[in-house]
Amino acid sequence: MEKAILFDLDGTLTDSGEGIINCAQMTLERFGLPVPPREEMRVFVGPPLGDTFIKFGIPEERTQEAIDIFRSRYVPIGKYENHPYPGIRELLEALKAQGHRLFVATSKPEVTAIEVLEHFDLAKYFDLICGASLDQSRTTKSEVIAFLLEQNGRIDNAVMVGDTEFDVLGAAAHGIPTIGVSWGYGQVEDMQKAGAAAIADTPESLLELLNQ
């Protein structure tokens, strides 16, 4: 049966951690804040930036300033410190050949998501690429999915694919189940607690789950 499959981007389709963490480190340094080990900064990959910066000590009223600093490096450099996960291109090709409709729903700014996917020649697989707005009016996964549904109209037999509990919860707000992937930046236990329908450990096992 044809499905509408909504993919997260960072940590699901591409491994963008290097660029995101590099830019987050620079931002914390500019604010004179402690810079934790890189492993602890993996939480910057996926959720809205503003929310994560607050957790690392940036005052809520200065989050936009932090985001602007982050983007000053990310837009020209950081977004390309990134690569598709092995097997992702083959997964997308197989799903398209089977007749499924593919979408992207990411908390990354939409303009950047499109640039990244075009850079890696992955944009061609998707009917629609939706992301956060630069004016912060659309930032959470739930808001992005709402926008996607608004742009596309009714989507039947939909499923989300993502690597964090934010994907699971954001999709659940619209009655969409999520298959979590274990190769990204979230914790499997957190996705399971949030209600993930299943967990895939490889793109090959994800294809099997999506075709059940």
164-183 pLDDT, tens digit per residue, is 999 999 999 999 999 999 99
**Residue 60 sits in the same domain as residue 92:** no
Annotation says 8 is catalytic: yes
**Residue 96 sits in the same domain as residue 154:** yes
pLDDT for position 153: 77
pLDDT for position 46: 82
Do residues 9 and 117 touch, judged by C-beta distance below 8 A? Answer: yes
Q: In which domain, by residue range, is 8 found? A: 4-15+83-210
For residue 135, name the pLDDT band (cuts at 50, 70, 90).
Answer: confident
Do residues 5 and 161 touch, judged by C-beta distance below 8 A? Answer: yes
**Residue 144 sits in the same domain as residue 184:** yes
pTM score above 0.85: yes
**Could you tell me the maximum CA-CA distance found in the chain, to the nearest angstrom?**
54
Tell me the residue type at 50: G
**Residue 192 sits in the same domain as residue 92:** yes
Tell me which of 8, 10, 163, 167 is the catalytic residue.
8
pLDDT for position 154: 76
**Residue 50 sits in the same domain as residue 131:** no
Q: Which whole number is the average pLDDT over 62-78? A: 96
pLDDT for position 48: 86
Q: Which whole number is the average pLDDT over 122-128? A: 97
**Residue 9 sits in the same domain as residue 57:** no
The SS3 assignment for 15 reads strand
At residue 1, does pLDDT exceed 90? no
**Residue 9 sits in the same domain as residue 24:** no
Nearest partner of 182 among 158, 209, 203, judged by Cα: 203
**Based on the structure, what is the number of domains in the chain?**
2
**Residue 156 sits in the same domain as residue 126:** yes
Q: Which whole number is the average pLDDT over 32-46? A: 94
**Residue 117 sits in the same domain as residue 148:** yes
